[in-house]
């Protein structure tokens, strides 16, 4: 069947661009003193969080595809679907930063994160279906509790955003921390396999 | 002769950038309420359609080059020609979105799609000529009815745009759906080959 | 020594971005009628010429590196030097397009093309020095008459730009046509080699 | 374990974008005479310096990963951390250029360079820890005096910026010159190894 090379290369390209164009939102201020940087502080904080999120997605994407040997047509589309939702992160990051974390931008930011989580989960399921439930990938991904927990926190954060958007923002940071480390399940699995050989 | 590696890598790079810079057209609004997102709705709809189209082109490009073993100088130029027309999609997407699908933007959008279809067809012919009419690629591509149908629909949609641009927009969506699935002709062919071995 | 893989990948990335961000200069007009596209005509013509030039550079870069087996530190810098001058093409393209091909923008456009030609020539010499004067590359590049001719035409065009910038623009198109085909010297050489084996 | 391929590809993508989007800061002026280019001179000088710096980072990154055979999860994050600080270079470049090298922009430019140096040093340590202190990489990197010297100069330049920002700017150029050549320690080491075999 199809190799995974170009899927990885194209995803790397798109994710590299997404993670980098966000910095274009931070327009160099006209003033030359430190005070003129102040309005950029919330924009910069948004940038940091989104940089971390996109980094996490690239990282997990990398780990997941490590265990994959071939792809099919449906995989390509599930992957494009994930890239679509990732591509909306710069927009919601800009909106949230410019409006100092007010409720609707924070709500929408959470919604886009939620859709990314679902898109990643769809991609993961498509890959497992393609490789079989006894594949290395399927056993490594396991029950996906981390994914389910994230979805739960995102929905909670979205609802809370309508009352206190700072709590929501804190919850987004919490999910980032949960995902911060690369998917240990897969890494462990790979190490075990190697040790068992 | 020349390997296809760099052709694929360069195309992946250009297509990845094209699909991502379109999102820069959606500028984060200054207001923080939901109403301030409203003017962006047509821009977002345009973005979705164009994202799907560029995804389709990447997908089909990927499938077509799967069966290709080497490239020559003419292939490089036919490929650049396709990339040129793809690179104009963000521009027409922005114009169409900003003007709420009024007639001339919708007409021009169709024209760019038409030129992309022709450029893809030229690339496909150049590759077939290079590999011979008995090659795996030539047999897989076959008569290319899907391509001919698209060209017919694009021209119809362009003409209709001058009277009712929403019908044209519907037709563009129709073509996207027709092409949505990766080129089954090639995939089937590959599976048969493998089964026959 | 060092493989050429990452040099090619990085160059592909930079060139892909350069060729694509030029399209951002063509800002979608606010009006929805055909007349509102008119101011963009010179911008579009500039875009086409620059797209062709960058395509030519990518093409020739591709052909030249085909015959190369390893790179050294100096090669990396000679390549970055070429990428630097290529990166200025979007700027001069935008300036020339916005000012309807008036003299100084056309002059500067020629200057950047000239520096690109020199940078390419330096890269080519560095590679030949690294591989030896009896290498496949050295014999294929040969006397480099096409390069010398281009430099001569660029200088002529720059001087003429101060009197009639349209003549200069015509000369830039002429050079593009001269370089349009990939470097036949190298391609022929490769074919001969293969035939001789 | 994990191959280094995608780490390199993703880094190449991000660095390629960073080095290229800086040119977007140089907006084509509306006037068509040479005088209208004058305000862009400091922007252009900033661009040149930052282009050199990012080129140096890509170069050294390339050299360092030459000697690396596999990566782990921590490497991915240390690499993303470096890419984060690199991604801020276009912003500080723009701010410094637009404000004609006044003190705070020059100070912040130095700070971002400093953080890049630290991030590169962290990545290098993580890689050495992963490969062992007797690895080819560890021996090649050695004491890292060049890195320590750069950090010292950056801190000095930042402090001096508050009094005379041109001296600081000169010091940044000095560091660029120090790093200009690719890491000879590693290159020499590789050559010795080869000769010793």
Chain C nearest-CA distance from B138, in A, is: 24
Determine if residue A31 is left, alpha or beta; phi over 0 gives left, psi from -120 to 50 gives alpha, anything else beta.
beta
Using DSSP's 3-state secondary structure scheme, residue B3 falls into coil
Tens of pLDDT along chain C (197 residues)? 678 888 999 999 999 999 999 998 888 998 999 999 999 999 999 999 999 999 999 988 988 888 888 888 889 999 999 999 999 999 999 999 999 999 999 999 999 999 999 999 999 999 988 888 777 778 767 667 788 899 999 999 999 999 999 999 999 999 998 887 655 555 555 555 545 44
Q: How far is C102 from chain B (nearest CA, A)?
A: 25
Determine, for residues D20 and C14 on separate chains, whether the beta-carbon distance falls below 8 Å.
yes
Touching partners of C (3+ C-beta pairs < 8 Å): B, D
Q: With cut-offs at 50, 70 and 90, classify the pLDDT of residue D167.
A: very high
Q: Which residues of C touch B98 (CB under 8 A)?
A: 28, 30
CB contact under 8 A, B14 and C13: no
Per the CB < 8 Å rule, is B28 touching A25? yes
Name the average pLDDT for chain A. 88
pLDDT at B183 (0 to 100): 55
Residues in D touching C104 (Cβ below 8 Å): 32-34
Whether the CB of C196 is below 8 Å from some CB of chain D: the reply is no
Average pLDDT over residues B48-75: 90
Give the position of tokens 């240990």. Answer: A184
Give how far B108 is from chain C: nearest CA, Å: 9
Structure tokens at B66: 């799967």
Q: Does C21 contact B at CB distance below 8 Å?
A: yes
Each residue's pLDDT tens digit, B140-159:
676 677 888 999 999 999 99
Cα dihedral across residues A8, A10, A11, A16: positive or negative: positive
ipTM above threshold 0.85: yes
Range of the structural domain that residue B35 is part of = 5-196
Q: How far is CA C163 from the centre of its chain?
A: 25
C13 has a chain B CB within 8 A of its CB: yes
Sign of CA dihedral D82, D84, D89, D95: negative
What average pLDDT does range D155-165 have in this prediction? Answer: 95
Q: What are phi and psi of C28, to 5 degrees?
A: -60, 125
Residue D19 to residue D32: CA distance in whole angstroms: 27
Q: What residues of chain B lie within 8 A of the CB of C23, using their CB?
A: 21, 87-88, 90-91
List pLDDT tens digits, range A149-159: 999 999 999 99
D-chain CB neighbours of C83 within 8 Å are: 19
Q: How far apart are the first and last CA of chain C?
A: 27
Number of structural domains, chain D? 1
Interface check for B25 against chain C (CB to CB < 8 A): the answer is: yes
For residues B14-39, average pLDDT:
92
pLDDT per residue over A36-76, tens digit each? 999 999 999 999 999 999 999 998 898 888 888 888 888 99
Q: CB-based contact (8 Å) between D23 and chain A? A: no
CA-closest candidate to residue D23, choices C1, C112, B93, A126: C112
Judged by a CB distance cut-off of 8 A, whether residue D99 touches chain A is yes
pLDDT digits (tens, 9 = 90+) for B84-111: 999 999 999 999 999 999 999 999 999 9
**Residue D147 pLDDT class (50, 70, 90 cuts):** confident
Nearest to D14 among A20, A34, A37 (CB): A20
> Nearest to residue B21, comparing CAs of A94, A18, D29?
A18
- Whole-model pTM: value is 0.90
Give the one of B20, B29, B66 whose C-beta lies nearest to A18's C-beta.
B20
Contact A10 B12 (CB under 8 A): yes
A chain contacts of residue D80, beta-carbon cutoff 8 Å: 55, 58-59
Instruction: Give SS3 for B2.
Output: strand
């Amino acid at each position: 069947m199809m190799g995974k090379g170009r899927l990885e290369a194209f995803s790397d390209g798109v994710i590299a661009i997404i993670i980098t164009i966000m910095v274009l939102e931070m327009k160099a201020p006209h003033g030359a003193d430190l005070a003129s940087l102040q309005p950029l502080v919330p924009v910069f904080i948004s940038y940091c969080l989104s940089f971390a999120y996109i980094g996490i997605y690239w990282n997990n994407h990398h780990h997941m595809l490590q265990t994959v040997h071939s792809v099919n047509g449906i995989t390509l589309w599930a992957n494009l679907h994930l890239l679509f939702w990732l591509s909306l992160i710069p927009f919601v990051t800009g909106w949230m930063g410019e409006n100092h974390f007010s409720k609707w931008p924070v709500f929408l930011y959470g919604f886009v994160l939620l859709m990314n989580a679902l898109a990643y989960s769809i991609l993961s399921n498509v890959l497992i279906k393609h490789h079989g439930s006894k594949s290395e990938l399927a056993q490594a991904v396991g029950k996906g509790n981390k994914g389910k927990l994230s979805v739960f926190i995102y929905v909670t954060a979205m609802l809370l955003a309508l009352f206190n958007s700072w709590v929501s923002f804190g919850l987004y940071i919490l999910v980032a921390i949960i995902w911060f480390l690369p998917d240990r399940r897969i890494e462990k699995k790979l190490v075990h396999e190697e040790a068992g050989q």
